[in-house]
Structure 1
Amino acid sequence: MPGLRIHGYALAVSFCFITFIAASQRTDPSEVNALINIKKSLIDPKNNLRNWNKGDPCARNWTGVWCFDDMGADGYFHVREIYLMTMNLSGSLSPHLGQLSKLEIMDFMWNNLTGTIPKEIGNIKSLKLLLLNGNMLSGSLPDELGNLSNMNRFQVDENQLSGLIPESFANLSNVRHLHMNNNSFSGQLPSSLSKLSNLMHLLVDNNNLSGHLPPEFSMLRGLAILQLDNNNFSGSEIPSTYVNLTQLVKLSLRNCSLQGAIPDFSSIPKLTYLDLSWNQFTGPIPSKKLADNMTTIDLSNNRLNGSIPQSFSYPHLQNLSLANNLLSGSIPASIWQNMSFDEKAKLTIDLHNNSFSDVLGNLTLPANVTVRLSGNPICNNSDTHSIGQYCGPKEEKAEQDSTNSTTGCPTQACPTDHSYEYAPSSSVRCFCAAPLRIGYRLKSPSFSYFPPYITSFEHYIVESLNFHLDQLSIDSYAWEEGPRLRMYLKLFPHYNDSHSNMFNTSEVRRIKDVFSSWHFPRTDFFGPYELLNFTLLGPYENLLIDSEKKKISTGIIIASVIAAVACVLAISAIITLLISRRHMKYQHKISRKRMSSNISIKIDGMKIFTYKELARATNKFDISTKVGQGGYGNVYKGILSDDIFVAVKRAEEGSLQGQKEFLTEIELLSRLHHRNLVSLIGYCNEEGEQMLVYEFMPNGTLRDWISGKCKKTTGSLNFTMRLRISLGAAKGILYLHTEANPPIFHRDIKASNILLDSKFNAKVADFGLSRLVPYSDEEGTAPNYVSTVVKGTPGYLDPEYLLTHKLTDKSDVYSLGIVFLELLTGMQPISHGKNIVREVNMALQSGTIYSIIDSRMGSYPSDCLDKFLTLALSCCQDNPEQRPSMLDVVRELENIIAVLPETETLFSDVSLDSSGNMVPSSSASAAGSGSGSHNTREEQHMSSCVSGSDLVSDVIPTIVPR
């Protein structure tokens, strides 16, 4: 007990010290505590937040923390903004963010954050900008975020988020920008978003949305940009009510599985950009002319018929694509004849693969017009209209980068250092100055070609910053996938009487605030932008760090003395409390130990381990024996007294189940016996511990092999071995569905839950999320699904399960299909906002499927690979009824493997010599599944694989190499 008293006194003194520090703070203590806990959740490899434990956040200008200029009514300063973009931070977002009750801007853009978005952020009613884009956040959007009624800009794009878009977002009454693109959101677009009367930009492209386009969106009368590309609104049409979106500037619905006729958008006066490509639209092109300011019309890759309307004549048009349709008749030359070009304009007209027979008018083209006519009957008569030159293959000409603002200045470096360079000025020819360098991207521009608009864009930037035109240089720009336009800007100080060659502190603050707070005036033509970086280099590196030491005021000193006196009075109470709590905790531990040791079950073949046995087997759960980690707890490699290797799965305290539930789960697992399921050997349920003991799988997880993390000398798994692993996993799941009693839906099939034994036999593991199939009723019928809260791993989740919460055997089929695609491509299910199913389907449609096949698996018969790919995609159909059963999956894999050539080894880059030893393939005749050991694309496709079953060929057509 004396030791306890000493410990209590130490804690009491620490408490007094903290109280004294708090009394000398100028920032709200609860917000200081929140910031400290926020830092604890972050991993900061570059030590950017090194001053987050020094003094007061507002008084000492903690990095990225900006406060209100005036104290609140409570006598404290409050945090107004957090700017932690592009700081190479990882870790997670702390729930303590919700304690920053006055926060207006939260900016964690372009880091490496993982985990979920805390629901506590929904408590910050003052929040106006929530900027979390460009991370690796996962999970679903919390419903509580719908409480942010003052939200203006919501950006979570380019993450790994999934699930439904919450209906509660209809309460974001002030939101103007919803940017949720490049994630894995699924289900129906909520029609309740039509209540967002202030919404201007809705970007939800590159997700897994399904259902229909809500007709109610026509009520969004202020909507200027609607971008929903690369979703799956299968069977849906564009609602006719969308013609009432009179403020619409850009409508992009590329690759959305839409059908029906194209509505007449001629009544939308501001429409500039229309992309409806890669859908299944039918009927003719609407005859009424669109707005004169159209720059882009892309209706390619549909099923449109009829002719091109004579009204197709737009003076600012840059891109017209009608390729790959069923159009016919004459091509009106008015498309290019009635345009007034300047030297910066460009027009590309792509009409290939239709049935055009003639050109109506003069085919003579201006120099800046490109026409592509290949695949039309008109090209069969090259003498007519001299059209032969337009019938060749498409030439890709990338738009040239711009470097346009330093003309006339010396090319040599300034004499000061590399941070300075010569800048143009209206007062003098050039002068040496240090520019601010800014990464900037237009997320949804309403044009296809930038040069005609560079000047107007420069005016837009400088007028927003209150700069002169010569203070801006567009250092470079380039188009990116989306399409989005990335650029790098240089901002130079203005040359004046003081001849200052760099911005002062207040000006840098002002410029950063304009960019990061989105104070630029609205422009729908250039669209929303995003700040990629605002990195201060050279003379600016430490400019915003205020090194001035703040003196403690008399009032704060008095408050500190009072706090110290209060601490002395509180010491005895704190020590008493500590002693009392220690005693209660000891009694609780004794009670818990008794309870856990008294509840057990005896199962044949199932060993009950003691805590001491498993601690000895794992060297007291030493970190060196840890081989894995999951939501349940850590997994350790252990050696039992009889020299048998085991995997010990130890529950963390927060994951402990009730005793009855824990033992029920053990009883269930004890019934599962199959060569493709990881076997449960025993368990431990004492000392307040819950541990499961499994057979050890020496070759780790399939995910590690796909990603290349396994540092084995044996190389990479070849195609045949990947098929065999797939078959093993499928057989294990089939056992769960059809032979287990009662049947089981696994619910978390993924590559990291498929383990490999010493002979690379696949075994399915981790039944922590599994659900039992309901028993049959008195009439012998049972539901074929389980209604449950959605759980699982993003990227593997069945879209139908996400939408309906109905878990079926086809949900496991979908997840296994994702694993098959991983084996084929080496890709992750979700990476940087890209979904593996969509990427494979797009590669298949474009004829580039073999370019994304994992080259590490060596040679393979192309027919066999095509059948495996067809099976994988059929498993990943959105409609569960179109997916094969697990029995069908097993049979198809067996049929593919049955016709493979004999394979001598498991790996793509080794062979066996005459003695059976592994040697590099260059030293022995290769043993691949193809003809020979070479890995060239041509030789990979030489072998034949004719399977006896085509059970999925009616779902997805056989793949033809292009």
Structure 2
Amino acid sequence: MKHLDNWGRGDPCGSPWNGVLCFHETDNDGFLHVREIQLLNMNLSGTLAPEVGKFSHLNILDFMWNHITGSIPKEIGNLSNLTLLLLNGNQFSGSLPDELGSLANLDRLQVDENNLSGTLPKSYANMSNVKHFHLNNNSFSGQLPPEFSRLPKLVHLLVDNNNLSGILPPEYSALAYLSILQLDNNRFIGGEIPESYQNLSRLIKISLRNCSMEGAVPDLSQMANLSYIDLSWNNFTGPIPTNKLSDNVTTIDLSHNNLNGSIPESFSLLPALQMLSLENNSISGSIPAGIWQNKSFNATARLSVDLRYNSLSNISGDLNPPQNVTLRLRGNPVCNGANIQNIHLFCDSDAGGNGTIDPAASTACPITACPVDQHIEPVPDLEKCYCAAPIRIGYRLKSPSFTHFPPYIFAFKSYITHTLKMDHYQLSIDSYAWEKGPRLRMYLKLFPDVNNSRVFNVSELQYIRYIYTTWHFPGSDLFGPYELLNFTLLGPYSSVNLEAGKSGMSKGVLAGILVGVIASAAIASVLATVLIMRRKNRSRQFSRNNLSSKISIKIDGVKEFTFRELSQATCNFSYSAQVGRGGYGKVYKGILASGTTVAIKRAEERSLQGKREFLTEIQFLSRLHHRNLVSLVGYCGENGEQALVYEYMPNGTLRDWISDKCERTLNFVMRLRIALGAAKGILYLHTEANPPIFHRDIKASNILLDTNLTAKVADFGLSRLAPVMDDEGSVPHHISTIVKGTPGYLDPEYFLTHQLTDKSDVYSLGVVFLELLTGVPPILHGKNLVREVNAAQKSGSLFGIIDSRMGDYPSECVERFIALGLSCCQDKPEMRPSMTDVVRELEDVLQLLPESMAMSDNNTSRSSSSITTTTSFSNVSKYGRMASDVSGSDLTSTIMHSITPR
């Protein structure tokens, strides 16, 4: 299950992980300018933090179908631009915040299928633009607020399956646009349906099943658009009104009441009728055969007439209904009429009569004609045999105005395809089923235009999803409100990133919100993709004004720079000098007065520390000296500034070099030496640094390459000192800490237990080793590199996933390198090698290299100008290509790599 993890600092985000999604305000790049958060059906858990109210430009907040708990933050009421608030299908509890009444632009409020309780806030009457209230399937109590009658645009009011009581407010007759009133399974004990409801001229559906209501069934004949009436399981008394209802009526359910009198003859004049249920009443007299005799049935039409357990004694007409009619008469005196032909067919069981089977979709070619293993299949309803790749959509009608779908399938397909600008044949209803409610769940397939392509392009996919997720389908009286359950991309679409090019949310924000899955211990490493940002955990925030005095300390080997020196080195921190940006702040390439090129990490205000903390960090970093670590050159602590100056790495990050977007590449020996260098740098942190350090954010973008392609480990902003000896002289093997790191590289055991060990770094480095050999990021389109390499090894196809750009390599060396990487990535820390063993194994593999290969590489690695250049690649990686959302180290060059396909 995925988790909404903690992000940022301060309580609760600064405390150990507690499953809270925290948001922190940023500049133009961040939250204030986010317009959509759509995390539908992502298996998220945790709670939603109050900081969500800082997304001041937000239009859509969508967390449907997850496992989010806790209360709904009242701060959402600050989101004045919000039009869609979609929190249904979670485990929210508590009451609805009054503050949401301030959402004057809200169009749709969906909080159904949660654990919410309390009364419905009267303040929601201020939502002057709201059209849809979906509050069903909770535990709301109290009375329906009469104030809701002031909602000028309300179309759907779904409050079924709650604990509401009191009376139905007569004031609701003023809701001029109300089309669906669904209040089933509440407790309006002793209440009646107000006569004024006859004025609801636009009402399509009224459903008050099991509401403990009394009195007479109202005359609804004045409602010209009425299609669906369900007043079953109440205590209504008296006769059924005889005036003719609208020709649109499909459903009349008055079962399980105390009604008497006869069946109105006007029921024989309803051309669209699909269901008439009067079961368990005291209806007497004759059964009007005109109910089915006066109807014209086509192949898809069906009529169910349920008259069981009444006092009906006769039939006016012949008892010979068509095959399309299901008639149930059990429990009536008429069943004792021996002279009535075929009476036993409708009296002997509760099933009774004959029904129709919905026609299946047809296709012009057999399914074997298409490569089904690639999720390509025949296009139904097409005269010619044509194979294409559909997208699959889970879809549910929440309150349809019919009980039998087949007669409306053509209209439904027209409704969908017209909005999507498609032809009728492009939509196939794969299956559908009625659910409790009643609601209609279905699975749809959308096929590309066969005149253009067998697959949708990315822009078409984005458009289709946009229409569904933003409720751009026009309102339908017949089909009622709908909800998207899932949007599934398989086969040729499995590698499509629909977020690419989306301007609403920055990659940093997505990395902070999108989180990983933990399905089981066996695949925890695959799916421990948690919301983790490169932020230091601080107990306080400081402004530059609080740090206006100069910070100074004398440290051997570390120079103290003035702000003026750094400003001159970067042309006043110009945009052209900026080479990166991380959790600490922006990074600039600078040229000092001495001519030395450096990387300057300038802290942004949110990253500023107290003077003591800043100087402590400088002292800490200054003690780290190793050939395979990026060195600290100096610092600046004046004019309210805090900056760290590092040696500059002209050859960028390892991730740059092994990316399929890089024109240049590394051969196998170069990769092996880089792995060894990185391992030696981490071994130094574990065993020789004073005190020892756990890095906890090892990744390919934190391994930098100098002029000679020597690997240097960078970015200790997330590092933690290793455990120290206690009073009894023992040293614990782990430290407990907030989980930080990068998705895909994160040790699953650390994620689950919050216990950071040296083996956590071993796991992350193992992922880097596999990345070096395959060129594939640790997580790509839902596939996890560790799992894919494990599978390839077991299936004997290991060499099929090796990066083809490495050139020649000894198979024995590659096998041992891969075995080492997989050993480092064992789920259980005790099964992983120590960093000492990792370095030793890499040195042994290096010794296995043919002398000619090792010598050739030694000559090549002395100059970056000699690096192998690959101009064409015949093999396409089975994993495809991904642009990483996780920012790498900031101490890199401004090399621009040309894109070359694999």
In 1, Cα distance between equivalents of 2:83 and 2:55: 13
Choose the corresponding residue for 1:328, options 284, 287, 304: 284
Report the equivalent of 2:460. 507
Report the equivalent of 2:398. 443
Asked whether the 8 Å contact 1:42–1:89 carries over to 2, the reply is no
Choose the corresponding residue for 1:278, options 208, 213, 233: 233
Query: Residues 429 and 216 from structure 1, CA distance in 2 versus in 1: closer, same or farther, beyond 3 angstroms?
Result: same
Report the equivalent of 1:544. 497
Report the equivalent of 1:289. 244
Report the equivalent of 1:522. 475
Cα offset, 1:206, TM superposition? 0.6
In 2, Cα distance between equivalents of 1:572 and 1:262: 70
Report the equivalent of 2:576. 554
Residues 856-881 of structure 1: per-residue CA shift (max 9 Å, x gap) = xxxxxxxxxxxxxxxxxxxxxxxxxx
Asked whether the 8 Å contact 1:227–1:253 carries over to 2, the reply is yes
In 2, Cα distance between equivalents of 1:486 and 1:113: 23
In 2, Cα distance between equivalents of 1:446 and 1:572: 59
Amino acid of the structure 1 residue aligned with 2:487:
F
3-state DSSP class of the match of 1:243? helix
In 2, Cα distance between equivalents of 1:41 and 1:357: 70
Residues 686-741 of structure 1: per-residue CA shift (max 9 Å, x gap) = xxxxxxxxxxxxxxxxxxxxxxxxxxxxxxxxxxxxxxxxxxxxxxxxxxxxxxxx
Cα offset, 1:291, TM superposition? 0.4
3-state DSSP class of the match of 1:532? strand
In 2, Cα distance between equivalents of 1:398 and 1:452: 17
Choose the corresponding residue for 1:421, options 377, 388, 393: 377
Rg comparison, structure with higher value: 2
In 2, Cα distance between equivalents of 1:514 and 1:569: 40
Report the equivalent of 2:899. none
Report the equivalent of 1:143. 98
Asked whether the 8 Å contact 1:221–1:245 carries over to 2, the reply is yes
In 1, Cα distance between equivalents of 2:15 and 2:480: 34
Cα offset, 1:360, TM superposition? 1.9
Amino acid of the structure 2 residue aligned with 1:282:
T
Q: How large is the Cα RMSD of the aligned pairs?
A: 3.8
In 2, Cα distance between equivalents of 1:481 and 1:550: 40
User: How do residues 551-590 of structure 1 correspond to structure 2 at under 5 angstroms?
Assistant: 554=576, 574-575=610-611
Report the equivalent of 1:533. 486
Residues 165-220 of structure 1: per-residue CA shift (max 9 Å, x gap) = 11111111111110011111111111111111100011110111111111011010
In 1, Cα distance between equivalents of 2:395 and 2:605: 57
Cα offset, 1:398, TM superposition? 11
Report the equivalent of 1:103. 58
Cα offset, 1:547, TM superposition? 7.1
Report the equivalent of 1:341. 297
Normalising by structure 1, what TM-score? 0.51
User: Aligned residues: percent identity?
Assistant: 55
Amino acid of the structure 2 residue aligned with 1:574:
G
Asked whether the 8 Å contact 1:401–1:478 carries over to 2, the reply is no
Cα offset, 1:136, TM superposition? 1.3
User: How do residues 18-29 of structure 1 correspond to structure 2 at under 5 angstroms?
Assistant: none
Report the equivalent of 1:360. 316
Asked whether the 8 Å contact 1:405–1:470 carries over to 2, the reply is no
Amino acid of the structure 1 residue aligned with 2:281:
N
In 2, Cα distance between equivalents of 1:399 and 1:165: 43
Report the equivalent of 2:122. 167
Choose the corresponding residue for 1:90, options 38, 42, 45: 45
Residues 831-851 of structure 1: per-residue CA shift (max 9 Å, x gap) = xxxxxxxxxxxxxxxxxxxxx
Asked whether the 8 Å contact 1:458–1:469 carries over to 2, the reply is yes
Report the equivalent of 1:114. 69
In 2, Cα distance between equivalents of 1:570 and 1:228: 49
1:454 aligned to 2:409?
yes
In 1, Cα distance between equivalents of 2:90 and 2:148: 25
Residues 759-815 of structure 1: per-residue CA shift (max 9 Å, x gap) = xxxxxxxxxxxxxxxxxxxxxxxxxxxxxxxxxxxxxxxxxxxxxxxxxxxxxxxxx
Residues 65-86 of structure 1: per-residue CA shift (max 9 Å, x gap) = xxxxxx97x9998111111111
Residues 284-334 of structure 1: per-residue CA shift (max 9 Å, x gap) = 100111101211001111111111122112111110011111111122222
Cα offset, 1:388, TM superposition? 3.0
Amino acid of the structure 2 residue aligned with 1:182:
N
Cα offset, 1:33, TM superposition? 9.2
Residues 612-658 of structure 1: per-residue CA shift (max 9 Å, x gap) = xxxxxxxxxxx9xxxxxxxxxxxxxxxxxxxxxxxxxxxxxxxxxxx
Query: Residues 424 and 359 from structure 1, CA distance in 2 versus in 1: closer, same or farther, beyond 3 angstroms?
Result: closer
Cα offset, 1:537, TM superposition? 2.3
Report the equivalent of 1:202. 157
1:487 aligned to 2:442?
yes
Cα offset, 1:339, TM superposition? 1.0
3-state DSSP class of the match of 2:283? strand
Amino acid of the structure 2 residue aligned with 1:502:
V
Asked whether the 8 Å contact 2:326–2:355 carries over to 1, the reply is no
In 1, Cα distance between equivalents of 2:446 and 2:431: 13
In 2, Cα distance between equivalents of 1:111 and 1:100: 21
Amino acid of the structure 2 residue aligned with 1:334:
G
Amino acid of the structure 1 residue aligned with 2:162:
N
Cα offset, 1:410, TM superposition? 2.1
Query: Residues 164 and 284 from structure 1, CA distance in 2 versus in 1: closer, same or farther, beyond 3 angstroms?
Result: same
Amino acid of the structure 1 residue aligned with 2:277:
S
Amino acid of the structure 1 residue aligned with 2:186:
N
In 2, Cα distance between equivalents of 1:412 and 1:535: 23
Cα offset, 1:574, TM superposition? 2.9
Report the equivalent of 1:229. 184
1:383 aligned to 2:339?
yes
Query: Residues 370 and 578 from structure 1, CA distance in 2 versus in 1: closer, same or farther, beyond 3 angstroms?
Result: same
Cα offset, 1:554, TM superposition? 3.1
Report the equivalent of 1:211. 166
Cα offset, 1:555, TM superposition? 8.6
3-state DSSP class of the match of 1:378? helix
Query: Residues 396 and 554 from structure 1, CA distance in 2 versus in 1: closer, same or farther, beyond 3 angstroms?
Result: farther
In 1, Cα distance between equivalents of 2:174 and 2:369: 56
Identify unmatched segments of 5+ residues in structure 1. Answer: 1-30, 59-70, 580-622, 624-962
Query: Residues 546 and 179 from structure 1, CA distance in 2 versus in 1: closer, same or farther, beyond 3 angstroms?
Result: closer
Asked whether the 8 Å contact 1:425–1:431 carries over to 2, the reply is no
Cα offset, 1:250, TM superposition? 0.5
Aligned residue-pair number: 527
In 2, Cα distance between equivalents of 1:38 and 1:516: 34
Which fold has the larger relative contact order, with Cα–Cα distance below 8 Å and residues 6 or more apart in sequence? Answer: 2
In 1, Cα distance between equivalents of 2:115 and 2:606: 49
3-state DSSP class of the match of 1:515? helix
In 2, Cα distance between equivalents of 1:387 and 1:399: 17
In 2, Cα distance between equivalents of 1:379 and 1:479: 31
Cα offset, 1:445, TM superposition? 0.6
Asked whether the 8 Å contact 2:25–2:54 carries over to 1, the reply is no
Cα offset, 1:381, TM superposition? 2.0
3-state DSSP class of the match of 1:161? strand
Report the equivalent of 1:764. none
Residues 419-466 of structure 1: per-residue CA shift (max 9 Å, x gap) = 22222586x713322111000011101001011111111111110100
1:472 aligned to 2:427?
yes
In 1, Cα distance between equivalents of 2:381 and 2:280: 51
Cα offset, 1:221, TM superposition? 1.1
Amino acid of the structure 2 residue aligned with 1:284:
P
Amino acid of the structure 2 residue aligned with 1:509:
Q
